[in-house]
Structure 1
């Protein structure tokens, strides 16, 4: 059945490519369309979650670990002051440090009703997997750390082969009914599993309303193809995690000596090489034409993808927030998008 649905999704994609181009940020790039810039709206609905977002999500993962609390608060202050309202506490921060920092900031600033928070279940070392008990306990722990009564978007991180998906979805159904969770998302799910989830949702269980996945100019193959087709067919908004490839696409890492000698530095230097240099050169050229930064251009490229709703990017200093949010108003020419596509192919 999965093969037939994927084939159907491909037909939907092919049909969409033949339509007249839409004048928004999420139109498909059609070489036969009229040339011109693509404008990104300031706020738009996140699928059918029921809330509107600025099309850039701030990655909170690592804020509490890599920065002092004051620096983390300053980054969050800057993000909200410039119009951002979507904050994630997902990624490699399994100890909940980012949730505690975000929760403390929301409590002290009184900003809970101004932002939407994303967190995840499935990776907690004390409560691994997606069993109903693990989900319920993980959600309660996250609510405590976030100092809030609700999670706007809860993501299942990874598939759990030991728990039937209907049991996991049933556990979330109870959480949605209680008001602890407003919407459900999926992270690192295969196309086949996303299709299975949609079938179960047709029988009354909660359905995925967004997906998060690693996706950027340096990491394209894992998403483009079957997963992208399913996301398109199911109208699932995509939140690309690691939108700047662990900071590599910001352009500050050109040699191995530029990076820190730790795990984060190793992830950034992993992209060095011919392809990485080619992508950075293309980013430099486009950035120079717009008097922008490479990071801004890298985010704008993602926002031009058909299914992307809000890239997720992290920063280490408050002033870096400006460059990320600037991507929502950067107008890239189609020729520039094509050049970035070619460089990163």
Structure 2
């Protein structure tokens, strides 16, 4: 397994990490993702650790906390072999104190997560969303206290807009508080919006991307084909409305390109889609999920090899989309290109 530095920090993380969103199976969204219990989770973690996948990502809202509980149980006796990443900030209840990133919410949330995870520290704590109702100074000062107490080692963000992330980084620099070293963001061949602003920001500020849903909410598994109905077993029947929309014709164009590259490389469609992400600027780790050992082993096959420049160009062209203002391609031409060279 390849290891990479997480943003501008000293933390080394595996190029692939494991997402525990399939653990627990509670609620309409997460029950569609999976219903992995402790024994199954322990076996999946065995396979991950054997392959060098040492980073496990979860959140307090995943199956109402059950994901954290199962991950903690499954890591019992080998906690020091793993890195645990969890997230908080999204609503966990209907009360006024059940959401956000206030000092009270962060303090309570971390204590509760530590108990569920059965650990004395969270290696990477990420805010699941920006809290516009709480001053960033309050949020960052609370995170600083948690780091100083040894309950959190590194901090990051998730699903932030560019200005939200930059405002937080600037405040951290101004006061000497811990900076976000990671940004967990959606990025895939079917969803390349990350490249427009968040990627240049991450490159400039030293923030490593932890990519979630690298297969575009299940659209890039190889099961969706032009002119064919959605497979009955696809979780998109339950979760399609929850993920970012994708134009059908563009999706089929991407899948056609993935099929062609998969045939050339002898790899599977998901392996090609994940490998493409691993070569993108600022990507520190791609989070893979799996409900079965077979799915996990297939996803692990995305590392240890590289796409050729020609194959990358084919996938780039098939997935290209015109960015919104002010990121139009023509801004990258002529003099604009000289002062703003593209990252990719």
Which TM-score band applies after superposition, normalised by the shorter structure?
A: 0.7 to 0.9
> Structure 1 CA distance, aligned partners of 2:314 and 2:61?
32
1:226 aligns with 2:197: yes
1:130 aligns with 2:101: yes
1:244 aligns with 2:215: yes
Name the SS for the 2:284 alignment partner: coil
Query: What aligned pairs does 1:80-119 form with structure 2 within 5 A after superposition?
Result: 80-90=49-59, 93=62, 95-107=64-76, 110-119=77-86
- Alignment check: 8 A CA contact 1:94 1:124 kept: no
**Which deviates more from structure 2 when the two are superposed, residues 83-92 or residues 302-311?**
83-92
Aligned equivalent of 1:30 = none
**Which deviates more from structure 2 when the two are superposed, residues 74-83 or residues 230-239?**
74-83
1:57 aligns with 2:17: yes
CA RMSD of aligned residues (A): 2.0
Superposed CA deviations along residues 83-136 of structure 1, whole A, max 9, x for unmatched, are 1111100496251121111100011xx221111111111014232001000001
> Structure 2 CA distance, aligned partners of 1:226 and 1:44?
22
Aligned equivalent of 2:87 = 120
- Alignment check: 8 A CA contact 1:119 1:151 kept: yes
> Structure 2 CA distance, aligned partners of 1:101 and 1:154?
18
Aligned equivalent of 1:332 = 307
Q: CA deviation at 1:271?
A: 4.4
Q: Could you tell me the TM-score, scaled by structure 1's length? A: 0.82
Q: CA deviation at 1:325?
A: 2.1
**Which deviates more from structure 2 when the two are superposed, residues 90-99 or residues 307-316?**
90-99
**Which deviates more from structure 2 when the two are superposed, residues 162-171 or residues 271-280?**
271-280
Q: CA deviation at 1:262?
A: 4.5
Long gaps (5+) in structure 2: 26-33, 321-344
Superposed CA deviations along residues 71-93 of structure 1, whole A, max 9, x for unmatched, are 33222221111111111004962
Q: Which runs of 4+ in 1 moved over 6 A?
A: none
Query: What aligned pairs does 1:1-345 form with structure 2 within 5 A after superposition?
Result: 42-65=2-25, 66-69=34-37, 70-90=39-59, 93=62, 95-107=64-76, 110-126=77-93, 127-202=98-173, 203-221=175-193, 223-254=194-225, 255-258=229-232, 259-260=234-235, 262-264=237-239, 271=246, 273-345=248-320
- Alignment check: 8 A CA contact 1:56 1:310 kept: yes
Structure 2 vs 1, CA of residues 118 and 335 (structure 1 numbering), >3 Å: closer, same or farther?
same
